[in-house]
Amino acid sequence: MQMNLIISKLTLVWFLLLCSVLASFGELEFGHCERVVKRWADTSSSSEEQHPNNKDKRSLQDLLFFLHVPRTGGRTYFNCFLRKLYDNADECPRSYDKLRFNPRKEKCKLLATHDDYSLMEMLPREKTSVMTIVRDPVARVLSTYEFSVEVAARFLVHPNLTSAAIMAGRIRKKNVISTLDIWPWKYLVPWMRQDLFARRDARKVKGVVVIEDDDNPYDMEEMLMPLHKYLDTPTAHDIIHNGATFQIAGLTNNSHLAEAHEVRHCVQKYKNLGEPVLQVAKRRLDSMLYVGLTEEHRESASLFANVVGSQVLSQVLTSNVTAKTKTTKSEESDTVSESGSDKSKIQKGTSEVASNKIEAKSENMTVKTLMEVYEGCITHLRKSQGTRRVNSLKRISPANFTKETRTRVSSEVIQQIKTLNSLDVELYKYAKQIFVKEHELVSKKMVSTSKRSIVDLQNVFGEMDDEKLWKFVSVALMLLLLFLFFLFVNFRRRRTSKVKI
């Protein structure tokens, strides 16, 4: 009995000693993480103070870096705005891939990629403008889950996972970017694909042929990974949660910074260390040329057209004049060279084609027409994307994702998403504040421009005396009457010709 009491006391002592050691170790690790995060935040701040993106953030620089946060509608902007404004030759090579080139050596004007902000280390900061789009974290996470399932489901036409993987490798062509090459889908899609095949195989073993529609595609255990389980996986914690903050801070698992993994790991482990990272992300949003909001679709598109689009068109107009001058000089030199020189003809033809492209873009495009082109483009794009989604999700029927099905996600799961994405929740609030300010600023400028035009018109009329003003009105009325008379005569002629026939 006494021996048992001694053993119990020794066990208790050892347990207390172990707890003390673990606590000390935890304090040491927390202290280490705190220093790592603080050092990174201080370095980021001092670097941006010494080398700001540009002095005037509202002025478009030589290179536009579109930092595309996944599932924010960035593909629509890329196809329906940026590709209408920039020629293919203006795009930096291999956009949307994990870039490993030095853009300083490339004469490109547009870089659109899922790469995070750490890519700025490879760009000429003083000559680069950055833009991005931010989305409500709950909607972004749901959309990420849905898209992972949608793309992975396309492979279910294959009999097994091995066949799907082999075919995926074959269809990739050189210099063609596949969804499986793009971050974060290069991680999320194969992971979800493996899960879908495993569940399909399990259904075959059980002999399950038909799955009843339970009205909640986010919780179909036999068909796909339930959303609440998806949210709590190591992959989701590493890539999805607080994804916008980590991407704008330059700390994703796709980062170009050597210390990114350790900083991200420390913030994920100790939530209170996320504040310095959030502050860096906020400062970077502040310095950007444009910050759009997915939820404010029309207002964001209008803001983009007036802030970014107008400046790109202005630059094109300037380059148009330069191109015309270069073309003239080229034509003069071609005349001097041998008439039979094929090389001179090719150079001349190339310069004329390039000049014509620039002219067509600058002369035919305005902010207003840019918006019209955008509206037509997104209608077509959404239709094609919708069709593709329907065809993909047929393979995991009755699972289907729509705006209506999102309302079936439980409040507990929604709260889970908000808790896991607390940094993104705060960043989104801050992005909304920036958006409101920029929107008000652009609106005031547009009103000011309209008022100035009216005042100029009033000044023109104000400088006229009564006699001149009466003459102006008389001439205007006379021209209007002549125009109406012309229309009347033309109308009568048409009616007469129809009667004769």
Q: Which residues are catalytic?
A: 125, 146
The answer to whether the beta carbons of residues 218 and 227 sit under 8 Å apart is yes
DSSP lists the bridge partners of residue 52 as none
**N- to C-terminal Cα separation, the chain:** 126
Q: How far apart are CA 359 and CA 351, in angstroms?
A: 12
Structure-token match 């009667």, residue found:
499
Backbone conformation region of residue 207, classed left if phi is above 0, alpha if psi is from -120 to 50, else beta: left
Q: How far apart are CA 328 and CA 264, in angstroms?
A: 55
Rounded to a whole number of angstroms, the CA Rg of the chain reads 31
DSSP lists the bridge partners of residue 91 as 110
Task: Output the six-digit token pair for 312.
Answer: 């790109």
Q: Which of 156, 236, 165 is nearest to 203 (CA)?
A: 156
HSE-CB for 432 with a 13 A CA cutoff: 11
Q: How far apart are CA 237 and CA 115, in angstroms?
A: 18
Q: What are phi and psi of 113, to 5 degrees?
A: -160, 155
66: three-class secondary structure by DSSP: strand
**Surface-to-core class of residue 105, CB atoms within 10 Å of its CB (0-12 exposed, 13-18 middle, 19+ buried):** exposed
What does the angle CA 433 – CA 438 – CA 440 come to, to the nearest 5 degrees?
95
HSE-CB for 268 with a 13 A CA cutoff: 21
> Residue 495, Cβ neighbours under 10 Å: how many?
8
Structure-token match 């050596």, residue found:
105
Q: How far apart are CA 393 and CA 150, in angstroms?
A: 6
DSSP code of 117? G
Q: How far apart are CA 282 and CA 430, in angstroms?
A: 7
